[in-house]
C-alpha cells in the first residue's frame, strides 16, 4: 500500500510556485525558491542539490540500489514575452517566449522586468482596442505581433519616455497567472504547464520522506528551464541513467482520453512513441494501486524526455502527468489529477 500523499501541501506548494514569474529564459527566481523549498522540507532526507551552469536544478536522493538510476524531470519555465521594440507611442511591441495564441493573452496583465532592475505593470492589448475609436472590422482583425502591444502603467507617451523608465529591447515580460483554488477541487491558472507537474513531483517526494522511505534506485529530481523552447532536459543527468520519466501536463480537449481528474500515461506524441516496456510498467503500477489513469496520444506536443533522447540519452523514456484543460491558455486542473499523478510517481520510485 502506498504512503499517504498530502494533497493540501501539494496545492499550497503549487499556488506559491505559480505566483513566482518564470518565463523561459528568466527562471532564476523560481529555481532559487525551489532549491530553498526542497532544502527546508527535506531536512531529514539524504537529498543533495545543485544548480548547473545552464540553470537547471538537480536533486539527488540515494536509493537502496545504484545499478539503474532513475530520473524524474519537470519544467519550471513558462510562456511569456520579450520586448521587441519600443514604439513611437511609448508602448511595447513584443515577441513570444514559447508558443501561445495572440488571442489567448488579449487583455491580460503583465509584469515588465526592466533592464535597470525596476518592474512595471502593463496590459497586452490590440492597437485597436477602443470600441469608441475603431470600426468593427478594425477591432476584429486577426491578432499578431504587428497589431498587439503592451500598454505600460507608467507616464509614457513616446519612445524616449519609455527608455527613461529603464525598459530596453530584450527585457522579459511575465504574463499574470491569476491563480484561483476553488473549494470543489478545481485550480485555475496560467502556467499549470508545467508547475502542476513539479507539484506532483514534490508530493511524491514529501510522501516518501514523511514515511521514512528510500527510493529503490538512485533517483534524480530534475527541474528544467528551457522546455518551452525545446531543449530543457537535454542535459543534467548522470551518464549511467537507466530510466527518465518526463512529467508534463496531459492534454484535456475534444478527441483526447485525458481528463482533469486522472494521471495520463502518454503512448505517443508529435515526436513519436515512448518506450513501450516502460509505459506498460507504468500502466501496471497504476492498475495495481487502483489509480485513476488514462493512456493518451498527443499530436501537437513534445516533452523534455524527447529532448534528452535527441541529445543522445540512451535511456528508457516515459511521459506522465496531470490532466490540464485549455493548455497554453487560461488553464485548469483538479486536485484529483495532482493526487493520482503523485501516487503514480511514488509507486514508480518505490518499485523494483
Q: Is residue 180 a part of any domain in this protein?
A: no
Alpha carbon distance 277, 291 (integer Å): 19
Catalytic residue (choose from 149, 227, 283, 306): 227
- Within this chain, do residues 339 and 239 fall inside the same structural domain, yes or no? yes
The pLDDT value recorded for residue 283 is 98
Q: Are 7 and 203 in contact (CB under 8 A)?
A: yes
Residue 181 in domain: no
- Is 352 among the residues known to form the active site? no
Q: Give pLDDT tens digits along the chain (352 positions).
A: 899 999 999 999 999 999 999 999 999 999 999 999 999 999 999 999 999 999 999 999 999 999 999 999 999 999 999 999 999 999 999 999 999 999 999 999 999 999 999 999 999 999 999 999 999 999 999 999 999 999 999 999 999 999 999 999 999 999 999 999 999 999 999 999 999 999 999 999 999 999 999 999 999 999 999 999 999 999 999 999 999 999 999 999 999 999 999 999 999 999 999 999 999 999 999 999 999 999 999 999 999 999 999 999 999 999 999 999 999 999 999 999 999 999 999 999 999 9
Question: Domain holding 102: CATH number?
Answer: 2.40.30.40
Q: Note the pLDDT of residue 343.
A: 98
If asked whether residues 110 and 248 sit together in one domain, one would say no
For position 91, what pLDDT does the model report?
A: 98
Query: How many domains would you assign to the chain?
Result: 2
Residue 45 lies in a domain: yes
Residue 23 lies in a domain: yes
* In a shared domain, residues 165 and 20: no
Q: Which of 146, 175, 204 is the last residue in one of the domains?
A: 175
Looking at the fold, whether 221 and 254 belong to one and the same domain comes out as yes
Instruction: Tell whether 1 is covered by a domain.
Output: no
CATH number, domain containing residue 297: 3.40.630.10
The model carries a pTM of 0.98
143 secondary structure, DSSP code: P
Q: Are residues 64 and 95 in the same domain?
A: no
Residue 325 domain flag: yes
Question: pLDDT at position 234, please?
Answer: 97
Residue 166 placed within a domain = yes
- The reply to whether 247 and 343 lie within a common domain is yes
- Whether the Cβ atoms of residue 231 and residue 331 lie closer than 8 Å to each other: no
Q: Which residue in the block uniquely carries the three cell numbers 513519436?
A: 272
Res 259: pLDDT: 98
pLDDT of residue 140: 94
Structural domain includes residue 141: yes
CB 189 within 8 A of CB 17: no
Q: Are residues 122 and 233 in the same domain?
A: no
Domain that holds residue 60: 7-78+191-349
Phi, psi of 238 (to 5 degrees): -70, 155
DSSP output for 185-233: SEEEETTHHHHHHHHHHHHHHHHHHHTT---SEEEEEEEES-GGGT-TT
What angle do helix axes 28-41 and 192-210 make, rounded to 10 degrees?
Answer: 10
278 and 160 together in one domain: no
Amino acid at each position: 500500500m502506498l504512503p499517504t500523499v498530502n494533497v493540501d501541501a501539494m496545492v499550497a506548494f503549487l499556488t506559491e510556485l505559480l505566483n513566482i514569474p518564470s518565463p523561459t529564459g528568466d527562471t532564476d527566481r523560481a529555481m532559487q525558491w525551489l532549491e530553498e523549498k526542497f532544502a527546508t522540507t527535506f531536512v531529514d532526507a539524504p537529498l543533495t542539490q545543485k544548480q548547473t551552469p545552464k540553470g537547471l536544478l538537480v536533486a539527488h536522493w540515494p536509493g537502496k540500489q545504484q545499478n539503474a538510476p532513475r530520473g524524474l524531470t519537470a519544467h519550471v519555465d513558462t510562456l511569456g514575452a520579450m520586448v521587441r521594440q519600443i514604439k513611437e507611442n511609448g508602448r511595447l511591441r513584443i515577441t513570444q517566449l514559447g508558443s501561445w495564441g495572440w488571442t489567448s493573452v488579449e487583455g491580460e496583465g503583465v509584469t515588465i522586468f526592466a533592464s535597470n532592475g525596476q518592474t512595471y505593470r502593463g496590459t497586452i492589448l490590440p492597437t485597436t482596442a477602443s470600441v469608441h475609436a475603431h470600426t468593427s472590422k478594425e477591432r476584429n482583425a486577426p491578432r499578431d505581433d504587428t497589431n498587439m502591444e503592451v500598454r505600460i502603467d507608467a507616464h509614457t507617451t513616446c519612445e524616449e519616455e519609455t527608455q527613461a523608465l529603464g525598459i530596453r529591447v530584450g527585457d522579459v515580460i511575465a504574463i499574470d497567472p491569476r491563480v484561483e483554488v476553488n473549494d470543489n477541487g478545481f485550480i485555475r491558472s496560467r502556467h499549470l504547464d508545467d508547475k502542476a507537474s513539479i507539484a506532483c513531483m514534490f508530493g511524491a517526494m514529501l510522501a516518501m520522506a514523511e514515511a521514512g522511505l528510500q527510493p529503490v534506485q538512485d533517483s534524480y529530481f530534475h527541474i528544467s528551464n528551457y522546455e518551452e523552447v525545446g531543449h530543457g532536459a537535454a542535459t543534467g543527468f548522470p551518464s549511467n541513467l537507466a530510466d527518465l520519466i518526463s512529467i508534463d501536463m496531459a492534454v484535456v480537449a475534444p478527441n483526447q482520453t485525458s481528463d482533469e481528474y486522472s494521471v495520463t500515461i502518454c503512448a505517443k506524441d508529435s515526436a513519436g512513441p515512448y518506450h513501450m516496456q516502460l509505459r506498460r510498467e507504468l500502466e501496471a503500477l497504476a492498475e495495481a494501486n487502483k489509480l485513476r489513469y488514462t493512456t493518451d496520444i498527443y499530436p501537437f506536443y513534445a516533452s523534455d524526455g524527447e529532448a534528452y533522447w535527441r541529445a543522445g540519452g540512451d535511456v528508457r523514456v516515459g511521459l506522465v502527468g496531470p490532466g490540464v484543460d485549455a493548455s497554453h491558455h487560461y488553464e485548469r486542473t483538479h486536485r484529483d489529477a495532482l493526487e493520482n499523478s503523485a501516487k503514480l510517481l511514488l509507486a514508480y520510485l518505490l518499485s523494483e
